[in-house]
Structure 1
Amino acid sequence: MDMPKVTRRTFLKVSAAAGGAAAAAPRLLQAMENELGGRDYSPVTMAQRQAIPYTCHVCNIQDGAIAFVENGRIVKLEGNPEHVSTRGRLCAKGNAGMWYTYNPDRVLYPLKRVGARGEGKWKRITWEEALTEVAQRLDAALKEDPNTIMLKWGRDRTGGALIRFMHTLGSDNTMNHTSVCESSKKVGMEPTWGPDIETPDFSKTKYVLNFGSNVLEAAYFHNPLSQRVTEGRIDNHMKIVTFDVRLSNTAGYSDEWIPVFPGTDGAVALAIGHVILRDDLQDSEFINTWTNVTVEELKEHYKSFTPEWAEKISGVPAATIERLAHEFATTKPATVFTYRGPAKHLYGSYNEKACMMLPILTGNVEKAGGYCLPRGMGWPQPNPKPPKPAKHAYANHHYHPLFPLASHGVSHLTPFDIFEGRTKVNVYFTYMDNPVYTNPGAQAVWGRLFKDEKLIPFFVSISTVIGEETAYADIILPDCMFLERWEPESMPNSLWPWLGIRQPIIAPLGETRETRVILRDIIHKLDPDGSRGMKQYWNFKDGEDYMRQHFDNIPGLKDVGGLDFLKKKGVWPIYGKLDPRTGKVVDKTGREIKAEYELYKKELSDSDMMGATIEPNGLIVKNGKAIGIRRNGKNYVGFPTPNRLLNVRVDEWAKYGFNPMPTFKRIPWHETMKDDELVLTTYKFNVHVQSRTASVKWLAEIVHNNPMWINPETAKKIGVKTGDLVRVESKVGYLVTKAYVTEGIHPKAVAIATGCGHWEYGRLATLKLNEKPQFGGTEDPDLKNVWWDDKGVHPNIIIPAIADPIGGSQAWYDTVVRVTKAGPNDKYGDVFGDFQKHLEAYREGLRFTYKGDLHRKMHPEMAHWPGPEQSQDQGHHS
């Protein structure tokens, strides 16, 4: 459609009342309103800009989006209206995403360290020089032991390329970031129903119990889920009850905010379950048919979890628990949501399991408006594939011998394994990671590790910017930003599965190369003629060629054009069109596209059953694998667990002396807190994510500092008011920051946001605005147009590294602190962490592992367990 000509007369008509304008200038209104998404015009020339679909990667939600290009430059980002999950919307972070590409402090060519580690002295080198040195170091490490090559990533959206690279080298020594993210949530869920995430059907529900999730701004999938929360509120008059230490934006949006003592969500959930079972409000048929326990077993197990018991632990009144239990159980449909709040504690997996039980008890599973399984799609890996490594590393991202149930690893404990000699490293790779800033202990632990050239002899950073970790690197290989590279995507962030791509919107700036190409070039440097058997696994011309090997032969997608379809649309399948009036995806008749429910009740076909056997317990087995379960005379696919049931009782936990049934364990050091001690919690702003947003001015201008939230009652006791300096001291260190006095936090807790307080990451993040650009960056006149002089104070240095002995999660929200008025020698921004005290705290945490001396004390109900010395199974490896 041609852009309509705008005259003074048509402008005046459009400026009139909406009804009159629609009648007078329909073509103009259609251009302005009905085609939101997919078209954009230069405000100067009125020329239509080039629109290219992609998948966002500012955070891990992977929203579908469209980039607009004018004269070779990205000028605007917005949501992709054909994406069924995010439906044409981007959050603030996504809209600001182009400023990652145009960050004036990007590293645009390879760098080599020339000063001491962390000194900040670099020289420019060529790619040939960089690849040659990296290959030489790898070659030497391979001769000693491939597992002395370690790669740790923060976000891996490469679609398998990082693991392929390490397996090509024969190394099993890979580390993810999940233990500082949500591993205990995952481990709390996986053995019960298979996947490691859920998809609450907020748009169709009538009641939500939200435990510690800030879903409207900071939780996983906040863009797609927050849209559905809004729909549920409007369409169904949905009620939301939020249990949280802090009055988050989600808690503020809720009908009820119930401040709960940190780490006690699980106790409240168990007490709600107690009332449901005591008063026969449960869905007995669902429990007896689809779980591995009976209603009678649950009633007996839940007897001791009374509302009065939970009130003493959590502070939530027993009468409130009674009322909420009846409301939740009698309102259909209803659902539950959690994220880091319950999980990031010692025994966070127990908390997650207790919360997850509520929709199971009430039968609100896989129903419209209920607690649904995630819907995702996969893609094939290019052939041939490298074999798995010949031997396991001591600890990798699927396994740690002291945490055999932590299937997503315990990566935040890696420095201590290296310090104490259990893991040896010759070459260390980092990718999209910054543990010197984002992990517990921060620079006191991780900075100490990377500075030690005996422990980390050679350090390679594949990075776009010099952050707190990359500052210690020996070689920096400049990666592309997400708007310059190819990557496959599929996220279970809605009830409609999809495949998507990230594709280059513009050519990579400077000498940067996309991740796959960097890894390929390293392998080709190691094995130029293929004689070492490595090169065969990296047989692709460029990133697009690699993507074709992923996508061009997927059934259904192949029929519509494979990668070429995705390049044009950004996502597959296209379920329908966005209705701009409702914001929902609709079919050709204008009706909303319906999701599919009760996936576990899909019946197996005759061909599925051919050659299958049915065991006495109903399990249907074919070719040695469980494919379904017989229930009530029908052959269903069941849940994606080994026994095809919901495992309320997790027998594998019992093997290591952990309670296999839903339970709660209080944080021991919370029980012995003194009157002047508080619990430190952390949180995220909706415009920041991990450390990567610090260089984006649009976002930094919105939020750039992070005062400590403290309750008025507590603040009065120590004599502080908003803006006063306070000293926050834990057993491993201290910091000095400003107080923000608010009733929006529990009286026994304080909260400090992450995302602020950088000492690296470029001129904007550090407010060193008068320095010159380096490493290929450009002078940005807008960079000095900064009105703020406070970059905040980062809290992680005073948080010890403690892991949930079941799920492996970092216990972010368990740290006991003492808050006092700042002394005469305290200055805003002072931080200190004592490494020896961090080491002591780490060792204390290990006492709760299944081999630790405090394990039996915490689990007297498991006294019959023989103990680790008799256990034959010392862990599993995925």
Structure 2
Amino acid sequence: MDFPKITRRTFLQASAGTTAAAALAPRMLHAMENELGGKDFSPVTAAERKAIPVNCHVCNIQDGAIAYVENDRVVKLEGNPEHVSTRGRLCAKGNSGMWYSYDPDRILYPLKRVGARGEGKWKRITWEEALTEVAAKLDAALKEDPNTIMLKYGRNRTGGTIDRFMKTLGSATVLNHTSVCESSKKVGQEPTWGPDIETPDFANAKYVLNFGSNILEAAYFHNPLSQRIAEGRVDNHMKIVTFDVRLSNTAGFSDEWIPVFPATDGAVALAIGHVILREDLQDSAFIDTWTNVTVDELKAHYAQYTPEWASKISGVPVQTIERIAREFATTKPATLFTYRGPAKHLYGSYNEKACMMLPIMTGNVEKRGGYCLPRGMGWPQPNPQPPGPKHDSVLAHPPEYPLASHKVSHLVPFWIAEGRQKINVAFTYQDNPVYTNPGAQAVWGKLYRDEKLIPYFISMSSHMGEETALADIILPDCPYLERWEPESMPNSLWPWLGIRQPVHKSLGESRENRVLLRDIIWKLDPDGSRGMKQFWAFKDGEDYMRHHFDNVPGLKEAGGLDFLKKHGVWPIYGTLDPKTGKVTDKTGREIQAEYGLYRKELSAADMEGAMVDAHGLITKNGKAIGIRRNGRNYVGFPTPNRVINVRVDEWAEYGFNPMPTFKRIPWHETMKDDEMILSTFKLNVHKQSRTAAVKWLAEIAHSNPAWMNPETAKKLGVKTGDLVRVESPVGYLVTKAYVTEGIHPQVISIATGFGHWEYGRLATLKLKDRKGDASHGEEDPDLNNVWWDDKGVHPNAIIPAVADPIGGSQGWYDTVVKVTKAGPNDKYGDIHGDWDKHYAAYKETMRYAYTGDLHRKMHPEMAAWAGPESVKPKASGGH
């Protein structure tokens, strides 16, 4: 791996080469000025660089990108102008993606622990040694119980490979990161209208309500959606109103920022709905036709949620609630967006449901400029496929959380410690809960250090993150520019399929995940006699991808995987106009999205042999295919009954309110005058744990002072730069204050993504601490140019575990803290978390589960519910 060394001599040579290239090729340079992308040239030789399309994976938005390669090395990343969603744009994170590959502290060879866990002592071993050892551990676990093999992943974009691996082993113990991400948003939406996300048509909207989402820098789909927001503002004079505890970039861009008390977004949304219904501003025809309630039922239910009630809880003035309700209901088209702000609370699923009701009751669903269903595409899996596990896993599907269809993985350390399920072998893939989960080192670090609870720990990773540092063996994974993966994200109103493909050969001895997992299976079942190898009959990653893409209708005719290798995305909807930045068709007109998906009519062939019940539900061969409304047969919404479920009857089965409602966080009601609520947020150049070692991004942002309102700071005698001690029920930290008007007076907010104690020299600022195990790549001279000395302070150790009893989400923004000026013995960066206190917090949150003793207290309106004995817990689906 060659890192160019810049000297005065090489700089002058490069400058001369650039001048020569310009002199020799003026036509080429002139042409480049008029192109939007897809070509790049060496400034030294003027040779055209190889352009390889990929889908980015620095974060989870999967922007279309182009990698420019010179001498088998990525020299630049840009947006792909053929990608319909991102339209040639790439954010700062995406532009920096090559530094995952060229990180000098990247793990390039298999490593085996030779010291105590976490001691940092490793021995380089061969792949044969690594696979032999891993296979032996798995073989022993399989003989005892396949479910004693656990795999926890973070960003799983393998397109089904992880699930295939675990099904091949027969284990159901597959855990994800979604409960610390957005699970309660998903669970609030899925039973209501089918999908777990929305796609607002910002570009054509006239009015936008934004609850707790920082769309312009940190929310899901921020690149494609922020483009459409800018268009809506410039082209359509769209108004944006943001409810948030903090003046985020999105709040600052909005027409109005309304500071709201944490966790009360749902109350405000219900009160807005109350005003809309009270003043007959709703779309009655849509409600009566396309939901499972009537307008009269909705009005009766919403009568209790007055603006006066919501104002006392949220701090939002009554007049503001009433004005915004009228504006939203009478300005058409209008849309709404949420993300973690409303959802990451004890009752986040209720908050999400209350928010999404606003476009539903105003009929702004699946309309131009409205609140639209996501558009995604799928692909087939290679056949034959392994059967499912014979037995379920209590860790993956805890019976106390039957509605949490995206799992409750952040509580798993406590369940393992209680002996609810034995683990013999644990895998981690693109995950780092020792850093990213509540409790962090105090909880997950304790779990993974305990060899009785986790006897053998395997990390499939390219970097030495906080979790990987505790592994017994490390299998070096490839960063995203060196691997094959299928992709589709509903990040615009045009569905697409895309790929990641290797843009250069893998460095060192790293192996992409699907090949790595295949090699483990082949080692377990070399001759196929165990029935495992048949599910992994592919020669390499590209061969596996052909099983996905060469038989997709439409794509097959276009060339299948070969088309995607050339373009990176399919279909190509049109050409990017350099003047407008929008995609145009052959006539030069901007392409138009399709709306009203639920109103597509079934054909005569669809209806042949179908049955229609008394509610209009159309079924065929035992499956719902549509809904009859006003004498016409429509496909309807992708729910079991093909309508929007304002009333979610399944929730009532477990004693939860089936109608839109709000539950206040009990410990927020008893806060003392000197207590505050801790919130966290992300900056636009960082992810939760995977960007602190990316040198361009680390230089832009490397510290995270605690945001504090001047009113609060004055009471504490604190000014910007002063040290403050933030103490929660489970621990404390010491950090610097940043005094700003852009934060609610009762909130202190700290950005995540900082304060690493692992992840390499740049992330930890231990710049001279090079490990001598020959596992890394070449040196990077830029490490000699690090000018900053502050790596920040990570807050997760003092945040207790909270679980939404419906959606399973971690309550990131529920923590009550006491903030004081730092004492004489407090030092910047001090952090302490206590396992016993975290365990006590976990026991408390379990009391709110439907089987817990506080469930009835929180739901007095469900007095007729028979109790947990009357229902059989359902196994939640995977994610």
Q: TM-score range by the shorter chain?
A: over 0.9
Code of the residue aligned with 1:561 in structure 2: it is G
Q: How does 1:233-312 map to 2 (within 5 A)?
A: 233-312=233-312
Residues 684 and 87 of structure 1: CA distance in aligned 2, closer, same or farther (over 3 Å)? same
CA distance in 2: counterparts of 1:872 and 1:771, whole angstroms: 55
Sequence identity (%): 79
User: In structure 1, what is the equivalent of residue 807 of structure 2?
Assistant: 807
Deviations 1:350-398 (A, max 9, x none): 00000000000100000000000000000000000000001101121xx
Residues 674 and 606 of structure 1: CA distance in aligned 2, closer, same or farther (over 3 Å)? same
Q: Offset of 1:696 from its aligned partner? A: 0.5
Code of the residue aligned with 1:564 in structure 2: it is D
User: In structure 2, what is the equivalent of residue 866 of structure 1?
Assistant: 866
- Judge conservation of contact 1:770–1:784 (CA < 8 Å) in 2: no
Task: Select the residue among 766, 769, 772 that pairs with 1:771.
Answer: 769
User: In structure 1, what is the equivalent of residue 105 of structure 2?
Assistant: 105
User: In structure 1, what is the equivalent of residue 549 of structure 2?
Assistant: 551
CA distance in 1: counterparts of 2:133 and 2:209, whole angstroms: 55
Task: Select the residue among 747, 756, 759 that pairs with 2:757.
Answer: 759
CA distance in 2: counterparts of 1:676 and 1:276, whole angstroms: 37
- Judge conservation of contact 1:773–1:779 (CA < 8 Å) in 2: no
Residues 402 and 150 of structure 1: CA distance in aligned 2, closer, same or farther (over 3 Å)? same
SS at match of 1:869: helix
User: In structure 2, what is the equivalent of residue 631 of structure 1?
Assistant: 629
Residues 778 and 802 of structure 1: CA distance in aligned 2, closer, same or farther (over 3 Å)? same
Residue 370 of structure 1 pairs with residue 370 of structure 2: yes
Q: Offset of 1:79 from its aligned partner? A: 0.3
Residue 588 of structure 1 pairs with residue 599 of structure 2: no
Q: How does 1:479-498 map to 2 (within 5 A)?
A: 479-498=477-496
SS at match of 2:427: strand
Code of the residue aligned with 1:161 in structure 2: it is T
CA distance in 1: counterparts of 2:394 and 2:856, whole angstroms: 25
Deviations 1:716-739 (A, max 9, x none): 101100000000000000000000
User: In structure 2, what is the equivalent of residue 650 of structure 1?
Assistant: 648
User: In structure 1, what is the equivalent of residue 740 of structure 2?
Assistant: 742
Residues 304 and 35 of structure 1: CA distance in aligned 2, closer, same or farther (over 3 Å)? same
- Judge conservation of contact 1:485–1:543 (CA < 8 Å) in 2: yes
Q: Offset of 1:46 from its aligned partner? A: 1.1
SS at match of 1:769: coil
Code of the residue aligned with 1:119 in structure 2: it is E
- Judge conservation of contact 2:404–2:876 (CA < 8 Å) in 1: no
Moved over 6 A (4+): 5-8
CA distance in 2: counterparts of 1:60 and 1:705, whole angstroms: 23
Code of the residue aligned with 1:482 in structure 2: it is Y
CA distance in 2: counterparts of 1:631 and 1:376, whole angstroms: 26
CA distance in 2: counterparts of 1:859 and 1:460, whole angstroms: 43
User: In structure 2, what is the equivalent of residue 532 of structure 1?
Assistant: 530
CA distance in 2: counterparts of 1:151 and 1:597, whole angstroms: 40
Q: Offset of 1:47 from its aligned partner? A: 1.0
Code of the residue aligned with 1:384 in structure 2: it is P
CA distance in 2: counterparts of 1:802 and 1:424, whole angstroms: 23
- Judge conservation of contact 2:406–2:877 (CA < 8 Å) in 1: no
Q: Offset of 1:777 from its aligned partner? A: 2.1
Code of the residue aligned with 2:292 in structure 1: it is N
SS at match of 1:648: coil
SS at match of 1:695: coil
Query: What is the number of equivalent residue pairs in this alignment?
Result: 859
Code of the residue aligned with 1:150 in structure 2: it is M
User: In structure 1, what is the equivalent of residue 4 of structure 2?
Assistant: none
User: In structure 2, what is the equivalent of residue 420 of structure 1?
Assistant: 418
Code of the residue aligned with 1:224 in structure 2: it is P
Q: How does 1:328-727 map to 2 (within 5 A)?
A: 328-396=328-396, 399-727=397-725
User: In structure 1, what is the equivalent of residue 157 of structure 2?
Assistant: 157
SS at match of 1:416: helix
CA distance in 2: counterparts of 1:7 and 1:544, whole angstroms: 41
- Judge conservation of contact 2:459–2:471 (CA < 8 Å) in 1: yes
Code of the residue aligned with 1:303 in structure 2: it is A
Q: Offset of 1:225 from its aligned partner? A: 0.2
Deviations 1:76-112 (A, max 9, x none): 0000000000000000000000000000000000000
User: In structure 2, what is the equivalent of residue 17 of structure 1?
Assistant: none
- Judge conservation of contact 1:395–1:401 (CA < 8 Å) in 2: no
- Judge conservation of contact 1:244–1:259 (CA < 8 Å) in 2: yes
Q: Offset of 1:235 from its aligned partner? A: 0.8
Code of the residue aligned with 1:154 in structure 2: it is G
- Judge conservation of contact 1:772–1:779 (CA < 8 Å) in 2: no
TM-score (norm 2): 0.97
- Judge conservation of contact 1:185–1:343 (CA < 8 Å) in 2: yes
CA distance in 2: counterparts of 1:173 and 1:803, whole angstroms: 19
Q: Offset of 1:873 from its aligned partner? A: 4.1
SS at match of 1:692: coil
Q: How does 1:52-201 map to 2 (within 5 A)?
A: 52-201=52-201
SS at match of 1:163: helix
User: In structure 2, what is the equivalent of residue 21 of structure 1?
Assistant: none
Residues 66 and 876 of structure 1: CA distance in aligned 2, closer, same or farther (over 3 Å)? closer
CA distance in 2: counterparts of 1:526 and 1:603, whole angstroms: 51
Deviations 1:509-557 (A, max 9, x none): 0000000110000000000000000000000000000000110011110
Q: Offset of 1:869 from its aligned partner? A: 1.8
Residues 852 and 6 of structure 1: CA distance in aligned 2, closer, same or farther (over 3 Å)? closer
Q: Offset of 1:31 from its aligned partner? A: 2.0
Code of the residue aligned with 2:437 in structure 1: it is N
- Judge conservation of contact 1:679–1:748 (CA < 8 Å) in 2: yes
Deviations 1:453-512 (A, max 9, x none): 000000000000111000100000000110000000000000000000000000000000
CA distance in 2: counterparts of 1:750 and 1:832, whole angstroms: 18
CA distance in 1: counterparts of 2:492 and 2:29, whole angstroms: 31
Q: How does 1:823-842 map to 2 (within 5 A)?
A: 823-842=823-842
User: In structure 1, what is the equivalent of residue 48 of structure 2?
Assistant: 48
CA distance in 2: counterparts of 1:444 and 1:681, whole angstroms: 19
TM-score (norm 1): 0.97
Code of the residue aligned with 1:540 in structure 2: it is F
Residues 185 and 505 of structure 1: CA distance in aligned 2, closer, same or farther (over 3 Å)? same
